[in-house]
Amino acid sequence: MELTLALIGGKWKALILWHLGNNTLRYSELRKQLPNITPKMLTQQLRELEDSDLVKRFIYTQIPPKVEYSLTQAGKSLMPILDTLCKWGQNYAAEYEQLEQN
């Protein structure tokens, strides 16, 4: 559990992985998906995910440079877990809403 939380814990890493789920995205596209993250934090989180071999970065050698991010096999293996977390949160929110109404 500690290793998993070290790899994907925090406010942004799971969300970054979620948005990369079945997509290859450029940095600017990730920024649009996560409007509340600062550019510095997004860069830092992407580097950490890359260092953990959960995200891969592909740099196109062109002018202007183009960089795309996608999940590695290890990153893709997290998608069922993230999907379960998402569904759990939706169920929790629905139950909490019912409690509030009663």
**19-57 residue pLDDT tens:** 999 899 999 999 999 999 999 999 999 999 999 999 999
Angle formed by the axes of helices 79-101 and 13-20, nearest 10°: 110
Give me the pLDDT at residue 101, please: 73
Query: How far is residue 72's CA from residue 54's CA, in Å, rounded to a whole number?
Result: 5
DSSP for 83-97? HHHHHHHHHHHHHHH
Q: Could you tell me the pTM of the whole model?
A: 0.88
pLDDT tens sequence across 73-86: 999 999 999 999 99
Burial class (CB in 10 A: 0-12, 13-18, 19+), 35: exposed
pLDDT in the model for residue 64: 86
Does pLDDT of 102 surpass 70?
no
Dist CA 101 CA 78 (whole Å) = 35
Per CATH, which fold does 2-101 belong to? Arc Repressor Mutant, subunit A (1.10.10)
Q: What is the mean pLDDT of residues 61-89?
A: 94
